[in-house]
Structure 1
């Protein structure tokens, strides 16, 4: 009996781990939602993520690497001299560390990005992003408290932790998105 119970507990732990790290898609209120789940990280990855958050997050939200495939992060990192109109070049060692972090944890398929052969550098231009945000009126996005779709944390209350569930969306001056 004890062996069966231990196997059952082990199966539940394994199932929960698969859910947490699979980037599982599910339906919520009739809308398709993609959860972005972090992959297990080494201490080196954690240091690289801290550097990424410090360097890139000082100007904008430090997007989870899973939002774009490797080729998109490579293109972004290799054009930092003109990063959306700003020179965002980095020290060579920091550049290598951040690029390694982003490409290691990038989307392995087009499931999240839906880009096919295209190389997007704006997450807001990916088909998955457009599909998930298609019903949001422009006036909610262009208001001073949000400014643009690039400002994830303005509405997604748990975006920094990688959660983009619909029930966690609070649009400034409008409230919950239901």
Structure 2
């Protein structure tokens, strides 16, 4: 009988692949949870128009319901008129909705990424003094710490938080 035998090296390689799959799946899930624009790169109009006033926030930062509301109220966008031409509005809206956050929808459909549970959880170690610092100003200034924010990239590997002077302790202060 003519048997075909698999070389030992091939058996070990196949076994290593099978054993690695669960870890690869976990890593893929971790990557999906990191908020960024890796799904589909943002269109140029989004980077230019929206990024002209603030960081071009990743679409995955808000659920679709939030993006629908924001795109339907551009004439009253946080105190500014951010109206776009109809064709530009369609491109931006379609990209935002296609790449919106897939996490369990927040029933309140927050309009600010900084108010989402995800954002609060990811930034809980950032001291209030950083948010209030002259370099940052507010939690909405992503570019203050995320070096790639202007391109819609928010990797933790590229975070550079400014040093903020801590006020002197009042323990030894004279009264």
Structure-1 residue corresponding to 2:153: 161
1:88 matches 2:82: yes
1:171 matches 2:161: yes
Mapped partners of 2:61, 2:35: distance in 1 = 8
Where do 5+ consecutive residues of structure 2 fail to align?
Answer: 1-6, 166-175
Mapped partners of 1:105, 1:74: distance in 2 = 12
Q: Map 1:38-117; keep pairs closer than 5 Å.
A: 38-41=37-40, 46=41, 49-110=43-104, 116-117=106-107
Give how far 1:146 is off: 0.4
Query: Which protein has the larger Cα radius of gyration, Structure 1 or Structure 2?
Result: 2
Mapped partners of 2:112, 2:60: distance in 1 = 13
Shift of the 92–23 alpha-carbon distance from structure 1 to 2, 3 Å rule, reads farther
Shift of the 36–52 alpha-carbon distance from structure 1 to 2, 3 Å rule, reads same
Give how far 1:99 is off: 0.2
Indicate if the aligned counterparts of 2:63 and 2:101 stay in contact, CA closer than 8 A: yes
Classify the secondary structure of the residue corresponding to 2:156: coil
TM-score (norm. length: structure 1): 0.70
Give how far 1:14 is off: 11
TM-score (norm. length: structure 2): 0.72
Mapped partners of 2:148, 2:76: distance in 1 = 30
Matched residues, number: 155
1:36 matches 2:30: no
Indicate if the aligned counterparts of 1:68 and 1:107 stay in contact, CA closer than 8 A: yes
Q: Which has the higher contact order (CA 8 A, sep 6+)?
A: 2
Shift of the 39–87 alpha-carbon distance from structure 1 to 2, 3 Å rule, reads same
